[in-house]
Amino acid sequence: MKKLILLLSIILIGLCGSAAKANLPSEKSIDSLKLALSKAKDRYQHVDILNLLSQLERGRENGGKKSALNYAKSAFSAANKLNYAEGKADALLNIGIAEREMKNYDSALASLEALIHLSNKTRNITAKAEAYDHIAHTYREKEDKKQALKYHFWALTLWEKLKNQSKIAASNNHIGKIYFWNLDAYSLSPPYFKKALSIYEKLNNKEEIAKTLSSLVMNYRFLEKNTEMLQYAQKMLEVSEEIKENALISEAYQAIGNVYFNGGDYKKAKQYFEKAVKISESANDYVMVMQGYSWLSSIYKQQRLWNEAKRSYDKLLFFAKKNDNKIMITVAYFGIATILNRENKSDEALAYLDLAEENANKNFVAVIQGLRAIIYNKKKEYAKAKAYAEQSLAFHKQTGEFTKLVENYGTLSSINENMGNYKNALEYYKLFHTYQDSLKLDDTSKLVMKYEFDKKETEMKARQESEITRKNTISNVVYGILGTLILLIALILYIYWIRNKKLKLEKQNLELKRREAELAKETETFKSRFLSNISHEFRTPLTLINGHLEILKRDGSEKDKKRFNEMEFSGQRLLQLINQLLDLTRLEKDKYRIYFKKGNLLNEAQNYVQAFQSLAQQRNINLTMKITESAKDKFYQRDFAYSSETLASVFNNLISNAIKFTPNGGNVQCKIDFRKNKLIFSVSDTGPGIPEKDLPHIFDRFYQVATEEKPIYEGSGIGLAIVKELALLHNGDAFAENNENGGCTFTVWLSEGKTISDSEHPRTSIPPIIPKKEISVEEISTDEEKPLILVVEDQRELRKFVVENLGNSFRFLEAENGRQGTELALEHLPDVVISDVMMPEMDGFQLCESLKENDITSHIPIILLTAKSDQNDKIEGLQTGADDYLTKPFSISELALRVQNRINLQKKLQRKFVGNAIPVHEDAPELNQRDRNFLEKLNKIVLDHTGMEFSVTDLASEIGLSSSQLTRKLKTISGQTPANFIKNIQMELALQMLKNGDSVSETAWNIGYGEPAYFTKVFKKHFGFLPSEKEKLKGHKIHYSK
C-alpha cells in the first residue's frame, strides 16, 4: 500500500511542479516597451522591441499568448524586410514557443524547423540549440517521448560545443525527466540529474540545486533506494531552508518522512509529514497539502488506526475536489476502497475502485487491478480475480517493483489454490517466497538505514547546538566590546565637554579670521575686476580718439601735424598704461601664462634697444648695448628656450625707465650676459640713483620714488612690478642697486624655460599685424558693384565712425547687437561682417558661431573688434570661426586693408572654379568644409534631376534657400549664378556622354534639352565648337565633379 502512495505522489509532483511561481512581467513594463516601440526610429531596434514584447506577453498570468504570437509575427515580417538575421531567429523562436503554448503543435514545429534552417545558413549555433530544445518540449507535450529525447540529446551536444554550462545542466535535467516521467526508465535518469546537479553547484545556483535534488529524491523513491534518497533529501532541506523556498522545504520534509515510513518509524514519519502539511497550508500550496494527507493516511493504516485513516482520506478528497485534482481524487477513492476491503465491504470497495480508475494512469491501473484481484478472490469469483492479478503482474514485471511483485505472486498463488491449480499455485508460491526474502533483506537494510539516519539527525542536532553555543559566545564578546566602547565613549564625551568651551572660543576666532580673509579676498577680486573692466572700457573711446587723429593727420595741414603727433603719443601712452593694468590684473588672478620658444634672442634684444634710439637722441642720451662673449656663444646657437613676451616687457620697461630718469647728456648702457645657465640682462644709467630707503620697495606695485627736487616722478608705479613678476614666472628674479659713481643698475636674470609640443601649445591662425599705411578710400575697390559690409557695434559713435571712414567704395548695413546682426546677415548676405565682441543680447562670439554654423551664411568672412586683448580671448574668437581679429584701439587704415584682403581672397577663390569642378582642398584651403559640402550637395541635386526640367527656383527649394539667397551665396563662393551652375553641370555631362559615343540627339534628350538644335546652339556657345566635331571633343578636358 505504501508503494502505491509513493507512486501517486511522484506523479502528482511531476505534473504540477513546484508551487513557487516565476516572477511575471508587470503591465507597467509592457506599457513602457509599447511606448518605446512607438518612439523607436531605428528599424533594427524596432524588431528587437517587438521580440521582447512577445516574450513578456507570453509570460503574463492572464494569458497573453495570442498577443505574443502577433508581436513575434510582426517582428519576423520586419526583420525579413531588413534581412536582419538575428531578429528573424528570435522571432521564429518566439513564434514556435507561442504556438506550442497554444497547443498548435504542427505550427510550432514548422517555425522551429525554419529556425534550424536559418541557423544553418547563418551558422548561429546558439539559435539552433534553442530550436532543438523547444522542438523536444513540443514532442514531449505531444507525448512523442522518443522524438523529445532525441532532440534533447542533439541540443545537449550543441550546448556542450558552446560550453554553456547553464544550458548543459538544463538539457541533462530534461533528459533525466523524460527517462523518469515518460519512459519509466527509472534506473537511467539518475546520472543525468547528477550531472545537472554538479554543474549547478559550480554555478552556485541555489534554486536549481534544490529543484534538481528534488528530482533525485523522487527518482530514488521510485527505485526504493532509501540510503540515496535520505542523502539527497537531507541536502535538499538544507539548501531549501537557505533560499527560504517553502514548497521545496515541504517536499524535503515529506521525503524524510518517507524514509522514516519505509523504516517503520511511523511516529517520526508522522511528525515530518505534519510539518510538511503545516508549511504547505500557510503557503496555500494545496498540491503539497494533499500529498501530505495521502502519506498521513498511509501511516494511520500501517498503525491500524482505520478511523483516523478514513478521516485523513476524507480531507484529501475534500481538497482534491476543491482544486479539481483528478490524481488526488483517485488516491482518495483508492485509499477509501482499501479500508472498505479491510472491513469486508467488498461491493462498496469495488465501487470506489471504479471511481478511482476513471482518472488513473497505467501505473495506478495496475495497482487497482491488484486490489480488485484480492477482492474477487475473497468473493470466490476466481476467473475475474485471476485475470486482474495477471494484468497487474505483467505491468509490475516491466517496472521491477519488488513490493508489488510479492503482492501479485501471493494473490495468484491463493487464486490458483482456490481454483485447484496446485502446480501453478506452488510455482507462484515459490516466487512469492523468493521476492519476500529479498524484501526481508531490504528490511535489514532499513534497520541499518534507520540507524544511520538517527545518527545523522543526532549529528545535525549537535551541529545546531554547537552553532548556538558559538553564537552565544560571539554575543558575549560583542556585549563585552560594546560595554568597553560605551565606557570609552563616555570618557571621550567627558573630555570633549571639558574642551568644548575652549574649542568654541578658538572656533569663533577662526571664523573672524576667515571672514576677514574672505572680505580681503572679495575686495581684491572686486579691485581686479574693476581694473579689468575699466581698462576694457577705455579701449573703445581710445579707438575713436586715435581713429579721428588718424583721419586728421591724413587730411590736416602741416602746421597741425605736430599737435596731432603729441596727441597720438599721449594716446599711445594711455594704451600702454591700460595694457600694464591688464597684465597686472592677470598676474593677480594667476591667469597669466607664458610660453617658451627657441629663437634669435639677441636679434630681438637688439631690436628692442634700437626702438629707443630715437627717444634717446632727442634727449641727448648715449644709449649703448654690450653683449658678452659667453652670451654670443650661447644665443647664436638658438638653443635657449625663452618667453618672447617676457623679454619684450622687461626690455621696454627697464630701458624706458632708465631714459626717463637720466638727465640730458647722460649715458644708458644695456648688457646681455650668460652665466650659470642663466640669461642676465642689466640696464645702468647715470641718473640720480634711488634713495636707500626706497630700494627694498622699488618693485612694489604702485610704488613711486619722491625726491626733494621732484616730489613724485611721472609714472604709474606698475612697470617695475610687472618686470619682477614676469621674471619670477620665468623662474628668475629682478633686483636694483645704486652705482658707486652715481645712477643705478637694474638686473634681471631668467632661467631657461621648457618648450611644449604643438598639441599643448595654443595654436592660432591670428594674422600678422599689418603696418600702418596711409591709403585713400579710392584704392580699396574698383568693382562695378560695391561690396556690402555689415557693421555690428553697440557703441553708436564707433559704429558711425567705422561706416563713415571705411570709404565710399562699400555699401553698409548697421546693427547695434548680435541678434540684429544675425537677422540682417541672413536677409542680405553681406560680403564681410565687422563685429564687436562685447554686446548686449548676443555677443560677437555667439554671432560668429551662429553665422558659421548656418549653411546660408557660412561663407561670409567675419572680422572681430574687441577691447579684450588677452591671448585666450583671441583664441576663443578664432575657434568660433572668426576670419580675423583686431584689438581696440585699432587703425582705420588697417581695418580697411583687412576688409579688402578678405574680399580679394574671395575673388581669388572664385577664379579657382572651372566648369562645375570643385577645387580640391590643397588648391583651395580657404574654402571651408561646410561650404564645400554645400557645393557638393548642389552638384548632386542637379545631377539627380538630369533629363528633366529643373529651374533655379527648383534648386533653391531643394537646398532650402530662397532664390535670392542661393544666387548671392553661390556667386560669392564660385562667381557663378545658379543658372550658370546648372548649365555648366549639364554641359560637362553632355561632353562626357558625347565622348562615350552617344549621339547628339540622345545627349540632348538625356540632359533635358529636348530639341537637338537648341542643345547644339548652347553647347557651341559654352565650349566654342559643335558637339558633332569629334576631334575637338577628344582633345577637350572634362571639368566634372561626381
Q: Are residues 900 and 940 in the same domain?
A: no
List, as own/partner pairs, every contact residues 785-789 make where C-beta atoms lie below 8 angstroms and the sequence separation is at least 24, other chains included.
Answer: 786/810, 786/811, 787/811, 787/831, 787/832, 787/903, 788/812, 788/813, 788/828, 788/829, 788/830, 788/831, 789/813, 789/830, 789/831, 789/832, 789/833, 789/834, 789/899
Pairing of strands 832-836, 862-866: parallel
Domains held by the chain: number: 3
What's the confidence (pLDDT) of residue 781?
40
- For residue 475, the tally of other CB atoms under 10 A from its CB is 10
Does the residue 6 lie in any domain? no
DSSP, residue by residue, 839-885: -SSS-HHHHHHHHHTSTTTTTS-EEEEES---HHHHHHHHHTT-SEE
Q: 336 lies in a domain?
A: no
C-alpha cell recorded at residue 176: 533525466
Give the whole-angstrom CA distance, residue 227 versus residue 222: 13
pLDDT of residue 114 exceeding 90: yes
The CATH number covering residue 821 comes to 3.40.50.2300
Last residue of a domain, one of 880, 909, 938: 909
Beta-bridged to residue 746, according to DSSP, are 683, 736
Distance CA(761)–CA(753), nearest Å, equals 14
- Nearest-angstrom CA–CA distance, 217 and 255: 7
Confidence of residue 164 (pLDDT cuts 50, 70, 90): very high
| Residue 631 to residue 638: CA distance in whole angstroms | 11
Is the pLDDT at 62 greater than 60, yes or no? no
Largest CA distance in the chain: 164
Residues 611 and 741 both lie in one domain: yes
Q: What is the separation, in whole angstroms, between the first and last Cα of the chain?
A: 92
User: In the predicted model, what is the mean pLDDT of residues 321-326?
Assistant: 86
Q: Reduced to 3 states, what is the DSSP secondary structure of residue 886?
A: strand
Q: Is residue 806 part of a domain?
A: yes
* Listed range (11-20, 195-204, 330-339) with the worst mean pLDDT: 11-20
Give yes or no: residues 737 and 614 share one domain: yes
Backbone angles phi, psi at 832, to 5 degrees: -145, 145
Share the mean pLDDT of the chain. Answer: 79
Mean pLDDT of 383-411: 85
Q: Phi then psi for 205, rounded to 5 degrees?
A: -90, 90
Judge if 899 and 969 occupy the same domain. Answer: no
Cβ pair 272, 257 in contact under 8 A: yes
Torsion of CA 468, 473, 475, 479, to 10 degrees: 160
pLDDT level of residue 770 (50, 70, 90 thresholds):
very low
User: Based on the domain organization, do 698 and 840 belong to the same domain?
Assistant: no
- pLDDT of 579 reads 64
pLDDT digits (tens, 9 = 90+) for 629-672: 888 888 777 678 888 778 888 888 888 888 888 988 899 999 99
Domain-located, residue 139 = no
> Quick check: 733 pLDDT over 60?
yes
Q: What is the pLDDT of residues 818-860, one digit of tens each?
A: 899 999 998 888 989 999 888 888 888 888 988 988 888 888 9
* Domain extent at residue 937: 929-1035
Contact 881, 761 (CB under 8 A): no
Within 283-401, where are the H helices? 286-302, 306-322, 326-342, 346-357, 362-378, 382-399
Same-domain status, 608 and 736 = yes
CA 273 to chain centre: 54
- Shared domain check, 803 and 723: no
User: CB of 747 within 8 A of CB of 698?
Assistant: no
Contact 882, 864 (CB under 8 A): yes
108 neighbors 100 (Cβ within 8 angstroms): yes
**What one-letter code names the amino acid at 73?**
K
In the β-sheet with 884-887, what is the strand arrangement from edge to edge? 811-815, 788-792, 832-836, 862-866, 884-887
pLDDT digits (tens, 9 = 90+) for 511-526: 877 887 777 666 666 5
Mean pLDDT value of segment 542-552? 67
Is the predicted pLDDT of residue 771 greater than 50, yes or no? no
Provide the phi-psi class of 224: left if phi over 0, else alpha when psi is between -120 and 50, else beta.
left
- pLDDT category at 196 given cuts 50, 70, 90 is very high
User: Is the pLDDT confidence value at 922 over 80?
Assistant: no
Q: Is residue 486 part of a domain?
A: no
Average pLDDT of 776-782?
36
Asked if residue 942 belongs to a domain, the reply is yes
Question: Cα-Cα-Cα-Cα dihedral of 578, 581, 585, 588, to 10°?
Answer: 160
Q: Are residues 826 and 702 in the same domain?
A: no
> How far is Cα 87 from Cα 93, in angstroms, rounded to an integer?
10
The phi, psi pair for 1023, rounded to 5°, reads -105, -20
Q: How many CA atoms lie within 13 A of 840 on its CB side?
A: 4
> Taking 70 as the threshold, does the pLDDT of residue 573 lie above it?
no
Q: Is residue 243 part of a domain?
A: no
Q: Is the dihedral angle over the CA atoms 717, 719, 725, 727 positive or is it negative?
A: negative
- Output the domain CATH number for residue 661: 3.30.565.10
pLDDT bracket for residue 918 (50, 70, 90): confident
Q: Which residues contact 289 (CB under 8 A, 6 or more apart)?
A: 277, 280, 281, 319
- Reference 623, options 572, 675, 665; nearest CA is 665
Query: Comparing C-alpha atoms, which of 872, 593, 595, 873 is closest to residue 757?
Result: 595
Least confident segment among 783-787, 928-932, 999-1003: 783-787
CA geometry: angle 817, 823, 825, nearest 5 deg: 95
Set of cell numbers at residue 762:
595654443
Residue 394 has pLDDT above 80, yes or no: yes
pLDDT digits (tens, 9 = 90+) for 276-290: 888 888 888 888 888
Q: Which three cell numbers, joined as nine digits, stand for 65?
A: 499568448
**Residue 787, preceding bond cis, omega within 30 degrees?**
no
Mean pLDDT of 1013-1017: 80
| 1021 and 979 inside one domain | yes
The answer on 736 and 830 residing in a single domain is no
Other beta carbons less than 10 A from residue 593's beta carbon: 12
Output the DSSP codes for 62-129. T--HHHHHHHHHHHHHHHHHHT-HHHHHHHHHHHHHHHHHTT-HHHHHHHHHHHHHHHHHHT-HHHHH
In one-letter notation, the amino acid at residue 220 is Y
Examine residue 824 and state whether it is found in any structural domain, yes or no: yes
Question: pLDDT digits over 257-268, tens only?
Answer: 888 887 788 888
| Domain of residue 936, CATH code | 1.10.10.60
pLDDT interval class at 989 (50, 70, 90): confident
pLDDT digits (tens, 9 = 90+) for 850-908: 898 888 888 899 998 876 655 555 566 566 678 887 877 777 888 888 888 888 888 88
Q: Which pLDDT does position 18 carry in this prediction? A: 37
So what's the pLDDT on residue 17?
Answer: 38
What residues pair up with 685 in beta bridges, in sequence order? 668
Q: Are residues 901 and 934 in the same domain?
A: no
Overall pTM surpassing 0.85 (yes/no): no
- Based on the fold, state whether residues 624 and 742 are members of the same structural domain: yes
| Run of H or E residues at 668 | strand 667-675
Reported residue count of the chain is 1042
CB 793 within 8 A of CB 683: no
Report the pLDDT value the prediction gives residue 105, as an integer from 0 to 100. 93
